[in-house]
């Protein structure tokens, strides 16, 4: 027989999927985080979610041993926070429904170190963009992928989901991002030229914009490139370009954001182009541009003889 708390969890998951429009992946993650809390704390109803229950669960998470490739370590603070965020959102849902439980404001997140950005220089970026051999279809495709990443700041999943019917007569296109939210991104002349050259050489009829040139289908029985495939090709071209740092699609997204801010774009506009729901997520990039300003000040200010 389903317990009262399990029933509330199911209703909550349905709520965030239907009313809030969260993706199935987000719903799946929230289900996993809450299920683990319920499995540990064993609350029988909403009132059994107490300060003590949450504190004991946090201690359990903090002391959990996680085996990596070479070492054993404790669960990262940001991973622990995912569980607390899921629980807090669940408690907000209960409060909205007038169901007595712990106040969501009692759930505090662990402090984590300020996130550092993996960045590549402009010279490294230019070498990366020009690394594909455009004398063949795969190279034309890969050049289009790299140019599109830098032009738009798309997430890899967003780029994978694009179809070939995009209108290249316009300088913009709409994409569906996290939480099924639609935003507009903008195409540079370089990106449009690269995509046109790639599409002109394609002979298949697949609806995806970026496909396997070998005609080998992915695990879903499609030609569409997967996120993992695109991550691999970005790493391949970074190595080919002689870049020793780890380069991923997200690193190119970082370059897109810092390029905009470094050239004078306001943070709100960058937030919208990146599809960040919270401007605090975008503000990490201001630390990079602040450093650039400091370097400029050091280099050019008050050069007294």
Catalytic residue positions? 155, 178, 250, 253, 276, 285
Instruction: Give me the residue label for tokens 């540990």.
Output: 40
CA atoms of 228 and 208, how far apart (whole Å): 16
Quick one: CA dihedral 131, 134, 139, 144, positive or negative? positive
C-alpha of 293 from chain center: 27
| Collapsed DSSP state (helix, strand, coil) of residue 208 | strand
* CA–CA distance, 24 with 28 (Å, rounded to integer): 6
> Computed from CA positions of residues 209, 152, 281, 11, in that sequence, does the dihedral angle turn out positive or negative?
negative
Q: Which helix (H) or strand (E) holds 183?
A: strand 182-186
Are 33 and 90 in contact, with CB atoms under 8 Å apart? Answer: no
How distant, in Å, are the alpha carbons of 120, 270, 296 from that of 262?
A: 14, 11, 12
């Amino acid at each position: 027989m389903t317990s009262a708390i399990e029933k509330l969890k199911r209703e909550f998951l349905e709520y965030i999927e239907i009313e809030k429009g969260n993706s199935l992946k987000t719903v799946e993650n929230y289900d996993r985080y809450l299920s683990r809390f319920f499995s540990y704390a064993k609350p029988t109803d909403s009132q059994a979610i107490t300060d003590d229950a949450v504190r004991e669960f946090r201690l359990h998470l903090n002391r959990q041993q996680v085996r990596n490739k070479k070492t054993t370590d404790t669960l990262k603070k940001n991973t622990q926070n995912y569980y607390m965020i899921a629980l807090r959102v669940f408690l907000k849902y209960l409060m909205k429904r007038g169901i007595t439980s712990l106040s969501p404001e009692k759930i505090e997140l662990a402090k984590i170190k300020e996130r550092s950005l993996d960045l590549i220089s402009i010279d490294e970026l230019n070498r990366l963009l020009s690394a594909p051999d455009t004398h063949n279809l795969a190279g034309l495709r890969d050049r289009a992928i790299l140019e599109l990443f830098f032009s738009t700041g798309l997430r890899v999943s967003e780029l994978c989901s694009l179809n070939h019917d995009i209108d290249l007569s316009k300088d913009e296109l709409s994409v569906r991002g996290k939480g099924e939210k639609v935003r507009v991104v903008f195409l540079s002349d370089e990106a449009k030229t690269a995509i046109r050259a790639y599409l002109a050489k394609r002979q298949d009829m697949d609806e995806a914009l970026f496909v396997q040139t070998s005609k080998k289908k992915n695990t879903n029985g499609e030609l569409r490139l997967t996120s993992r495939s695109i991550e691999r090709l970005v790493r391949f071209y970074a190595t080919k370009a002689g870049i020793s740092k780890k380069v991923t699609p997200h690193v190119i997204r970082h370059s897109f954001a810092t390029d905009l801010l470094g050239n004078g774009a306001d943070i709100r506009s960058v937030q919208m182009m990146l599809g960040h729901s919270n401007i605090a997520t975008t503000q990490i990039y201001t630390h990079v541009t602040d450093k650039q300003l400091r370097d400029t000040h050091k280099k050019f200010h008050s050069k007294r003889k």
